[in-house]
Structure 1
Amino acid sequence: MRIVLGVGGGIAAYKVASLLRLFTEAGHDVSVIPTEASTRFVGTATWEALSGNPVSNSVFDDVHLVNHVRLGHEADLVVVAPATADLLAKAATGQAGDLLTNTLLMAHGPVLFAPAMHTEMWQHAATRANVETLRGRGAAVLEPASGRLTGADSGPGRLPEPQAIFDAAMALVQGRSDYQLPLAGRTVTISAGGTREPLDPVRFLGNRSSGKQGVALAVAARNAGATVRLLAAHMEVPAPAGVEVQRVETALELREAALAAAADSDVIIMSAAVADFRPAEVSDTKIKKRDDTADPVITLVRNPDILQELVEQRNASRAGSGQLVVGFAAETGDSQGDVLAYAEAKLQRKGCDLLVVNHVGMDKVFGQDSNAVVILSRAGSEPQEASGTKTEVSEAIVRRISFELNHVSPRA
């Protein structure tokens, strides 16, 4: 497929190098047209090296090839990223001051704009009118992601992640209606962090979970267009912008919140590290250490199996609805079996649709910035491995969830 990739003059231009790589690795022939302003951020040498094609932004280069007409005519797809407020305005008003805007006027195939700008610029009435004009003419304009912008501000205006733009572009070419973002219109509930079970007003039983993976999942789902609800237990990292946050502490509090949230969720991802046991009794006062008394004995009782209850609730009240339940398993192997053997047994026991398996240890996963997981499916498909930063792993998990929602038949 012949793709024209227009690059606007915003700081997010650096992310477009990754988008270009996705296009070329998928076998597409890409011609990059940067605006003059964008070359202040990323030079033409980068685009030429990654695309394997010459790069220009002038209608006066290679005049004999009539590029200002040819490129648009020959393109199977035109993608503009980042689409700045200025570029959207020029496209909406039909300006043709450089090679990119000429190409947009000559484009015969689908056109996709991926906006990126400051929140106030995106929300300005002029920009909104330009977006509606372009959409009215048949162009696809993605909603920007929400989150940290240049400087200290946060809000809608971030360039969607390269994978999300790539997925939207492929869906657009295939004529699918979900081109905007793979989880657009979906509600995703994610649990994150570690629960704490009180022994007394001072002490608790806890675990080593930092919440990094759950927060990364919330960001990935948000960037994929979902409405995200984060059930946050103890976390060592802040909750991301642009998601609804509900704080919980104990396993019982998480259970109540998760069962309630599931009622209107398309996807439930239970990535929190939930305590299997809690103290049978909680002291109202601090348990004292005295030389003249015996060592205290703490009796534990089982906590409810929240993941299994979510599956049972789904099967009872939303049969055939297509709700996806995703569990996490932090496992270690022993003399009785390896990590995947225990995980496969857990998948069948819990009944969830996908199980993301971590091989954990004292120096693995908990608190780290990287991760390696295996995604198991109850449908019996081949295990899928994903590794890298927790952001990259989260994006792989969200892509798998998007695939399951769009390709797997509803569950009985």
Structure 2
Amino acid sequence: PNLDQLRQEGMSLTHMFTPATTCSPSRHALYTGLYCVRSGAYPNHTQVFEGTQSFFRYLKDAGYRVGLQGKTHVGPPKSFPYEHVAGKNPDDFPATREFLSRDKEQPWLLVFASNDPHSPWNRGPKELHDPEQITVPPYLYDNPTTRTLLCDYYREIHKLDAQVGRLMKMLDQTKQRENTLVLFVSEQGSSFPYGGKWSLYDNGIRIATLARWPGKIAPGSTSEAMVQYVDVVPTFLEAAGIDPKTIDTGCPDADGNTGFDGRSFLSVLLGQSREHREVIFSQHTTVGINGYKAPYPMRAARDRRFKYIRNLAPENEYWINGIHGAEPFPSWVRDSKSDPSLAARVRFLSHRPAEELYDLEIDPLETQNLSDDPDYAEVQRKLSQSLDEWMRQQGDQGMETELAAHDRQPGRRRRSAEENRD
């Protein structure tokens, strides 16, 4: 009910996209305004290049008190100079209230980084959902194991919803509800097979987003403008009266530009613009994930209607312990022995073609690959060309970048392929 109320009081952005579908890269993009390969934060458990800055630094320099409560997963600390409110405990609400109440005259930024609904899904009220009564999304295989885990996932969403409600109540209690810009986003999609995490399908990169700002954002409004996480920092800066174009991020792209990859969508929030981006980009790096079998880099370009995915090592088996080694996927494998259509779906999860193309207008679940259809050759050529240029500008060398991912994970021991299967 609290997220529903937030939506009623603000704007739902239906086409927000993360440029990466693992925890650390998505957060780095959200806080820096930079795509992940350029910033250096492209594998999981990573950090940005030395000298790269974040909106914590920009707003702190502008006189804001900046804090983060809950999950961190970004670094190095010098690039993210926030006050760590309540340590890593997102449920320490007395500490939240103290931060919000400390100095009524000083503006502030608080990132409330809940860990819900991150797997394992073991929190929240169990009695809310009956596995036999829920509707299973059509991209998932419907069996008892899937239904039970969906209920666990949903109850953690309820826990997150309750956290949102407590935060909004604190804004009421501190008399700041009417002058605070609130933005609700997620990391990426769920870790169900085809649920989004560790993939570039819309279930992973298209993120539920709500924005509320009384007197600025029209209540109950909706925007279909295509925006990305890298656009959030410039938007916050413009909302704070800072020109994003004057910022030096400390991290040049391949052309020597040190400005943001993102662009402010404040005009979208204010109802002044209906469009923002024509094409969005995303990438996935498998190297460095706990429990990966072999390098399996993915890149994607998406416009309003079509999605183009390039799998850079299709000869390898795509295998991640968080998907393939965790339920419900093993139950799917067992059931697939007597279900040929499920067997094909199970097989595709690990063995994909070099290129994928989907018409999202007629195939929103991305099940019909059109990459070999001559009727769509020109669509694929244009998106492939856009992806090539984006990768060049980002300094993305494809497979070479993938294999260098461990170098972006300070302090983490390189793991052999055999170890990663454990």
State whether TM-score is above 0.5: no
Higher RCO, 1 vs 2 (CA within 8 Å, ≥6 residues apart): 2
Larger Rg: 1
Give the TM bin, normalised by the shorter chain. Answer: under 0.3
Which is richer in strand? 1
Q: TM-score, normalised by structure 2?
A: 0.27
Q: TM-score, normalised by structure 1?
A: 0.28
